[in-house]
Structure 1
Amino acid sequence: MTMLELTLTGADVLRPDGLEHGGELSFAAGQIQTDRAGRQIDLSGYRILPGIIDLHGDGFERHLAPRRGAMKQMTEGVIAAEAELAANGITTGVLAQFYSWEGGLRGPEFAAQVFEGIKAARPAVVTDLIPQLRFEIHLLEAYDNLPAQIAEWQVPYVVFNDHLPHERLAQGKKPPRLTGQALKAGRNPEVHWQMLKDMHARRPEVPAALDRLAAALGAAGVCLGSHDDHTEEDRVIWRNRGALISEFPETMEAAEAAKSAGDHVILGSPNVVRGGSHKGNASAVELIAMGLCDALASDYHYPSPRRAALMLEKTGLMDLSAAWALLSEGPARILGLDDRGRLESGKRADILVLDKQTHRVAATISGGQVSYMSGEIAGRFLA
Structure 2
Amino acid sequence: MSAELILTNARVVTRDADFTGTVVVRDGLIAEVADTPSAAPGAVDLGGDLLLPGLIEMHTDNMEKHFEPRPGVLWPNALAAAAAHDTQVIGAGITTVYDAVSVGEYRGRGMRREILNQSLAAVQHAQTSGMLRANHLFHLRCEVSDPCVVELFEPFVDHPLTKLVSVMDHTPGQRQWSDISKFVQYYKGESWTPEQLEGILAQCREDQDKYSNKHRREIVALSRQRNLPLASHDDATEAHVLESLADGCVISEFPITFEAAELARKHGQGTIMGGPNVVRGGSHSGNISALDLAKRGLLNGLSSDYVPYSLLQSVILLTEKAGMALHDAVACVSANIAAMVGLTDRGSITPGLRADLVRVTVQDNTPLVRRVWRDGAVVY
Instruction: Sort the TM-score into its range (normalised by shorter chain).
Output: 0.7 to 0.9
Whether 1:55 and 2:58 are equivalent positions in the alignment is: yes
Q: Which residue of the partner structure matches residue 253 of structure 2?
A: 247
Superposition map of 1:104-115 within 5 A: 104=109, 107-115=112-120
Q: Deviations over 1:269-293 (max 9, x none)?
A: 1111111112211111111111111
Q: Which residue of 1 aligns with 2:17?
A: 18
**Where do 5+ consecutive residues of structure 1 fail to align?**
168-174, 184-188, 373-383
Helix, strand or coil: the match of 1:164?
Answer: coil
1:75 and 2:79 correspond: yes
Corresponding letter in the other structure for 1:14:
V
| Distance in structure 2 (CA, Å) of the matches to 1:217 and 1:182 | 38
Superposition RMSD in Å: 3.0
Name the CA distance, whole Å, in 2 between partners of 1:162 and 1:38: 57
Alignment of 1:170-189 (within 5 A): 176=184
CA distance in 2, matches of 1:343, 1:278: 34
Cα distance, 1:67 vs. partner?
Answer: 3.3
| Residue number in structure 2 paired with 1:129 | 136
1:86 counterpart residue number: 90
> How far off is 1:106 after superposition?
5.6
Percent identity of paired positions between Structure 1 and Structure 2: 31
The residue type equivalent to 1:34 in the other structure is E
User: Counterpart of 1:261?
Assistant: 267
Answer yes or no: is the 8 Å Cα contact 1:228–1:247 preserved in 2. Answer: yes
Structure 1's 105 and 93: CA in aligned 2 closer, same or farther, altered over 3 A?
A: farther
Sort the Cα spacing of 1:33 and 1:257 in 2 relative to 1 into closer, same or farther, 3 A.
Answer: same
| Map of 2:146 onto structure 1 | 139
SS in 2 for 1:235: helix
Alignment of 1:367 onto 2:372: no
Aligned residue number for residue 277 of structure 2:
271
What is the TM-score with the length of structure 2 in the denominator?
0.85
Offset at 1:204?
4.4
Shift, 1:4, TM fit: 6.1
| In structure 2, distance between residues paired with 1:17 and 1:244 | 23
CA distance in 2, matches of 1:182, 1:138: 24
| Contact 2:10 2:46 survives alignment (8 Å) | yes
Amino acid at match of 1:231: T
The change in CA–CA distance for 1:54 and 1:154 in structure 2 (over 3 A counts) is closer
Provide the residue aligned with 1:376 in structure 2.
Answer: none
Cα distance in 1 for residues equivalent to 2:309 and 2:298:
23
CA, structure 1 residues 223+17, in 2 after alignment: closer, same or farther (shift >3 Å)? Answer: closer
Looking at structure 2, the residues matched to 291 and 229 of structure 1 have their Cα atoms a distance apart, in angstroms, of 18
1:150-229 correspondence to structure 2 within 5 Å = 150-152=157-159, 154-166=161-173, 176=184, 197=202, 200-202=205-207, 203-229=209-235
CA change 1:109–1:8 in 2 (3 A) is same
Distance in 2 (CA, whole Å) between partners of 1:268 and 1:275 is 11
Q: 1:76 to 1:145 in 2, by over 3 A?
A: closer
Q: Does 64-73 or 86-95 show the bigger shift?
A: 64-73
Aligned partners of 1:115 and 1:191: how far apart in 2? 34
How far off is 1:181 after superposition? 5.5
What TM-score do you get using the length of structure 1 for normalisation? 0.85
Letter in 2 for 1:12: R
Closer, same or farther: CA 194–299 of 1 in aligned 2, 3 Å: same
Secondary structure of the residue aligned to 1:6 is strand
- Counterpart contact for 1:223–1:335, Cα < 8 Å: yes
- What is the identity, as a one-letter code, of the residue corresponding to 1:29? D
Q: Does 1:293 align with 2:291?
A: no
Stretch deviating more after TM superposition (278-287 or 350-359): 350-359
